[in-house]
A and B are shown apart, each in its own frame.
Chain A
């Protein structure tokens, strides 16, 4: 089956620093990639949708300047959490689809802890 690799799986950083999370589709070209954030005991919250070569579409309430998304190629999307703060600590997950209405393939997630 399709594989989506997400790196790093876990990161601890100091407040004020920036953290980059990569999401790669290993064996298919992902026309669309999604970034989610999961809060404890809550469902995944979609943060943004990124399409290769175009600007990401952010969900309401998600700060574009804080969560920078770059979908530079059909196999790679990156999420950069800029000037991270403790409240940004969370589990971030990416997913990718080959085409619309296709099931999503999820990365393994990144546990971000901001001290």
Chain B
């Protein structure tokens, strides 16, 4: 049972445009959400997070939106840059529980 879902395995976006990565979850107990970025043969690096008490968190070019009623979060990257090409994982946790990861979305930025 996949509690965290990233339904788009891949996404291609023109450089300079906005990249929107989506993530859905089923566990209503999740209260902390994170996005990780992963380059090939490297471990994932933390990108941005959001607590369930917020609906938006912004850090530079990256913004995460949380819609609790829809159990949906999204990561917006604007403007997209070639270096943003990577696999992006969303993850969620409930209290002190371990992180549950989505399956990832491969983002390709087209120059």
Query: Contact residues of A with B, CB < 8 Å?
Result: 6, 34, 41-44, 46, 49, 91, 93, 95, 100-101, 103-109, 111
Contacts and interface: CB of A to CB of B under 8 A. Distances in A.
Interface string B38-53: 0001111110010000
B41 A103 contact: no
A108 B44 CA distance: 8
Minimum-distance CB pairs A-B, first 3: A109-B43, A100-B96, A106-B43
Interface of B: 9, 32, 34, 36, 41-46, 49, 89, 93, 95-96, 98-99, 101-104
A34 B79 CA distance: 34
Nearest to A59: B98
- Specify the main secondary structure of chain B where it touches its partner: loop
Contacts of A100: 95-96
A34 B102 CA distance: 17
13 contacts: A41-B9, A43-B89, A43-B101, A43-B102, A43-B103, A44-B101, A93-B44, A105-B46, A106-B36, A106-B43, A108-B42, A108-B43, A109-B41
B82 to A, nearest CB: 22
Given A6-B43, A46-B99, 12 more contacts: A34-B98, A34-B99, A43-B89, A44-B101, A49-B98, A93-B43, A95-B43, A100-B95, A105-B46, A108-B42, A109-B42, A109-B43
A113 to B, nearest CB: 12
A100 to B, nearest CB: 4
B100 to A, nearest CB: 8
